[in-house]
Amino acid sequence: MARGGRRHPLVIYRQVINRWWPETLILGILLVGLAWPVYKDPSSQFEPWRWKGMLLLGAGTVMFALLLLAMRGMAYVQVFPTHLKLVTPFLRLNISHKRLRRSTTTEMRALFPPDKMRGWKRDVIAPLGGRTAILLELNGWPAAPKLLQIFLSPFFFKDKTPHFVILVDDWMRFSTELESLRNSEGIAKPQQSRSINQSILSRLPRKDS
């Protein structure tokens, strides 16, 4: 396989997970702690499922919080000469460069105005409003749109047209890698053709001045 560019972590996933994993961890620790007084309650001797169930629920919640923490680095985008790899904890896509119509840059708040959002979506997008995103406009979806909407964050889509909104920390490097690796093969061919033409012209007889 051809060597690809750098793995760029997807900021949206990191932002969402950073919002939830600390609260989930605290909830799990509280449940584990509450299992102790329930265990010490004399009535629990006849109903041991009460403290055992709470202990198991708390331990499971703590494990889920740690899993969320580990998942922060599992979502990334990487450019290859023939395709763009988009990876999340639950989905892996290879997007051919032939599908890419064009790429542009814009601010997140222009795509997702915080004042038009409610609840957790506004909390997630508000601190990211000034960040620059890469808008990849496609000539077709690489997979079923409904499947993509299930496994990808809603902040990957500004509307229903084929596209992806990509938010990474170093957007300039990602954009440079996208253009250079995408055009690497196409650049080599014109250079080769030009050298052949120059070789042919050099063999033609020259007119004396």
State residue 56's pLDDT score. Answer: 92
What's the pLDDT band for 188 if we cut at 50, 70, 90? very low
Mean pLDDT across the chain, nearest whole number?
83
Minimal CA–CA distance to 17: which of 71, 91, 92?
71
Most confident listed range (9-23, 49-63, 69-83, 164-178): 164-178
State residue 119's pLDDT score. Answer: 86
State residue 184's pLDDT score. Answer: 67
Which of 34-48, 80-94, 142-156 is least confident?
A: 34-48
CB 79 within 8 A of CB 174: yes
141: β partners: none
State residue 176's pLDDT score. Answer: 92
Q: What DSSP character marks residue 84? A: E
Pairwise CA distance, residues 53 & 46, whole Å: 14
State residue 86's pLDDT score. Answer: 95
Distance of CA 52 to the CA centre of its chain: 38
Phi and psi at residue 176, to the nearest 5°: -65, -45
Q: What is the pLDDT of residues 89-138, one digit of tens each?
A: 888 999 999 999 999 999 999 999 988 888 888 888 888 989 999 999 99
Pairwise CA distance, residues 91 & 15, whole Å: 18
Q: Rounded to the nearest 5 degrees, what angle is found at the Cα of 128, between the Cα atoms of 125 and 130?
A: 125
Residue 4's SS3 state is coil
What's the pLDDT band for 196 if we cut at 50, 70, 90? very low
Question: Amino acid identity, residue 75?
Answer: A
Q: What is the pLDDT of residues 10-43, one digit of tens each?
A: 999 888 888 888 888 999 999 988 888 877 777 7
- Which of 1 and 114 is assigned the larger pLDDT? 114
Q: What DSSP character marks residue 3? A: -
What's the pLDDT band for 201 if we cut at 50, 70, 90? very low
State residue 18's pLDDT score. Answer: 83
State residue 194's pLDDT score. Answer: 43
- Please compute the mean of the pLDDT values over residues 76-98 and round it to a whole number: 92
Phi and psi at residue 207, to the nearest 5°: -80, 135
